[in-house]
Amino acid sequence: MSDELPAFDAPINTALSRFYAKPTEIIHAEPLAAGLTNRCWRITDSQGGQSVWRPNSQAVRAFDIDRAREASAQSLAANHGLAPQPIASLAEGLLVPWVSGQPLDQRDDDPTAILIDLLVRIHQLPVELETASVDAQCQHYEQQLSAANVHRLADIKAWAIAQRPATEGDIPVVCHMDLGAYNVVMTPHRGAVVLDWEYARTADAHLDIALFCRANALQPDAVIETYCAQQQIKATEAVRRRVLAWLPFADYLALCWYEVGAKLYRLPAYKEAANQLFEQLAAQRRG
């Protein structure tokens, strides 16, 4: 993917020039090492500013990412102090400001309180983001797998779907869908800033809580208790049941994501993670 930035330097330069209202060009670019699907570029421009180029790429297509929806989500979050406003949403990708600070997952103190507060704030955003089906996302992943692999996963998928809560109890909110400590930066002047809105959408709050627990390796009960207290939700047990019911599907979605990553990048870590989730779900299904 090292050839992606040179191909797009002209539209990026144009976008930066509009942003600064003066002629601007890229003077340095380096690929970001962090991130599993990002494969993004850190850019330094001739005005001394820094930004991140998030291209439309093979990985974006493989993981069913919509950069336009991502831009809308980040812009909505920026309006409420959770993220920086995107610089430009282009046909070739998304240009966003670089956020300087300390990644939350690299701090010594427990990040749980900060993370739950961010989760609550995101769920309190105006529901102005499109609803994107997680079932369609899952099917998109499966379509890229071999027939043998899909057959291998069929029983686990059916079981995971059967565990899901009834849609009548859904609470549609803006969901980040990947709110891990690795996607939060603590800044000196703005506090916590949330990155990587590429999977964000309107969806059931309980699914996002389930994904949040998995992303941060947190026990659901403690998260739910704090979340409900901050949201002033009295029916804590009802929330707990729905979150727990979503967990198998959340794990299955992650399994498929890792399978796609294993096929795309040929890295052992992806396949190892997929196999671990498969064994975990198979054991849960057996009871």
Per-domain residue ranges of the chain: 4-98, 103-286
Residue bearing the bigger pLDDT, 266 or 87: 87
**Other C-beta atoms lying within 10 Å of the C-beta of residue 241:** 15
Percent of the chain exceeding pLDDT 70 equals: 96
Alpha helix positions (H), the chain: 4-7, 9-20, 58-62, 67-78, 112-123, 134-143, 147-163, 205-215, 220-231, 236-265, 268-286
Superfamily of segment(s) 4-98: Phosphorylase Kinase; domain 1 (3.30.200.20)
Q: What is the tens place of the pLDDT at every residue in 234-254?
A: 999 999 999 999 999 999 999
Sort residue 83 into left (φ over 0), alpha (ψ -120 to 50) or beta: beta
Report whether pLDDT(39) > 90.
Answer: no
Candidates 3.90.1200.10, 3.60.9.10, 3.40.50.2300, 3.40.1190.20; correct CATH number of 103-286? 3.90.1200.10
As a dihedral over the C-alpha atoms of residue 91, residue 193, residue 253, residue 35, rounded to 10 degrees, the angle is: 70
